[in-house]
Amino acid sequence: MLYLIGLGLGDAKDITVRGLEVVRRCSRVYLEAYTSVLAVGKEALEEFYGRKLILADREEVEQEADDILKDADVSEVAFLVVGDPFGATTHSDLILRAAKLGIPYRVIHNASIMNAVGCCGLQLYNFGETVSIVFWTDSWRPESFFDKMEKNRQNGMHTLCLLDIKVKEQSLENLIKGRKIYEPPRYMSVNQAAQQLLEIVQNRRGRGEEPGLGPLAELRVCAGFLHPEPFPV
């Protein structure tokens, strides 16, 4: 049996009672460590759960998923996810792989930024499409997230923006050369995200366009949260 278990948004104690019971009896427990992070480290989780955890980075989850699913048809394996298990498409892919192999699975949900964002005082019903704001590079500066924010604004909706996290990422050069050398981890701040949004506004105005966020687009209110998963606009 494969269990996908949400850990919530705070610390080790945010896991549900059912989730903790499963973790303590599984033969292997993986901790997904690249789509988001908790306020506490792996050691604190191990101390509270009373067992060892296996860190699962992007490379292992996306390229070596068979190792995670190994023997899950005859034993119990847990895959721990910060927030809720369905907060990233990677986790859905793991379920699809399990189903294809005939491995039964169960999902134990928990709080996610998708509903916890209500703490800022905005009604959840008034949020439009969620977007991810990614780190720009010298040669890659996508603006598609801004287009979705414009559409939400035009429809009178708020936007939840998930800010980029880079953990155990390779540079393009090292990736091409097959060198297992990884860049230092980076976590996008609210200020960095806002700066990219402002640059898009300025660039579009330079092309004679008026952003759909309105003539005072750069003055729109942003609420930033200290949790690694981002801010509503």
**Annotated binding residue at 112?**
yes
Confidence of residue 71 (pLDDT cuts 50, 70, 90): very high
Mean pLDDT of 2-18: 94
Beta strands in the chain, from DSSP E residues, in sequence order = 2-6, 28-32, 54-56, 77-81, 105-108, 131-133, 160-163, 165-166, 186-187, 231-232
Instruction: Compute CA 84 distance to the chain's CA centroid, rounded to the nearest angstrom.
Output: 10
Q: Which CATH class is domain 2-111?
A: alpha beta
pTM of the entire predicted model: 0.84
114-218 to CATH, choices 3.90.180.10, 3.30.420.40, 3.90.1150.10, 3.30.950.10 = 3.30.950.10
Q: State the pairing for strand pair 165-166/160-163.
A: unpaired
**Annotated binding residue at 138?**
no
Reported as a single tens digit per residue, the pLDDT across 171-184 is 778 878 888 888 88
**Annotated binding residue at 132?**
no
**Annotated binding residue at 84?**
yes
Q: Phi and psi for 133 in degrees, rounded to 5?
A: -100, 115
Structure tokens at 92: 């859905």
All structural domains of the chain with their residue ranges: 2-111, 114-218
Q: Which residues contact 200 (CB under 8 A, 6 or more apart)?
A: 143, 146, 211
Instruction: Compute CA 49 distance to the chain's CA centroid, rounded to the nearest angstrom.
Output: 23
Mean pLDDT of 10-25: 95
Reported as a single tens digit per residue, the pLDDT across 136-157 is 988 899 999 999 999 999 999 9
Structure tokens at 158: 């708020």
**Annotated binding residue at 87?**
yes
**Annotated binding residue at 9?**
yes
Residue with tokens 């977007």: 131
Give the DSSP per-residue string, 142-180.
--HHHHHHHHHHHTT-B-EEEEPEE-SPPPHHHHHTT--
